[in-house]
Structure 1
Amino acid sequence: MKRLTPEDIFNKDFKHVLRGYDIEEVNEFLDLVIQSYEDVLEENEYLKEQVKKLKKGGGKPFPGRSADPYDPIIKEILVRLEKLEKIVFR
């Protein structure tokens, strides 16, 4: 299944019917969906870059900190990345 892009959402056209939805209300909602989706994609890219930096730097997020996956900061990054992947790739 192809992943949707914000442009796909923006360009989606719906049929007009006699007793359909309010077009303005649908458009306003789609604008919110697009913005939220763009935010998720940006955060996902940011977190991917953070993971790359951690792997490149020997896994140490900050000087003096361990690369232990149970480290609270590492754990939080991994949890956020997992949540974003579930949202983006479902």
Structure 2
Amino acid sequence: MKRLTPMEIFNKDFKQSMRGYDVNEVNEFLDLVIRSYEDILKENEYLKEQLTTSKKQNTARHKAVQANMSEYDAIINEILTRLERIEKVMR
């Protein structure tokens, strides 16, 4: 389904009939719909930008955590090596 633009809503013409709706009332309602729709589109764009920013920050944090884990792994391996040496000496 194609998404309507605010201008398409604004430019929409309805046929008039003898027992039709009040044109001014319909136009006022459509103006309200257009404003609400524009607000939703702006909010949607803002949220997309926030999501992109959050994903980038998350990726950077993940890389930092991975780097720290590599350092911790090296430290743990060093500690284990030292413990093994101590155990050999203690036997």
Short-chain TM bin? 0.5 to 0.7
Q: How many residues are treated as equivalent by the alignment? A: 60
The Cα RMSD (Å) is 1.4
Distance 1:59 1:47 in 2: 18
Unaligned runs of 5+ in 1: 61-90
**Whole-Å separation in 1 of the counterparts to 2:59 and 2:4:** 32
Q: Which runs of 5+ in 2 are unaligned?
A: 61-91
| TM-score, normalised via structure 1 length | 0.63
TM-score, L = length of structure 2:
0.63
- Seen in structure 2, the aligned counterparts of structure 1 residues 26 and 52 have a Cα distance that, compared at 3 Å, is same
Label 1:17 to 1:34 Cα distance change in 2 as closer, same or farther (>3 A). same
Amino acid at match of 1:38: E
Q: CA deviation at 1:54?
A: 0.5
Larger helix percent: 2
Is the radius of gyration larger for structure 1 or structure 2? 2
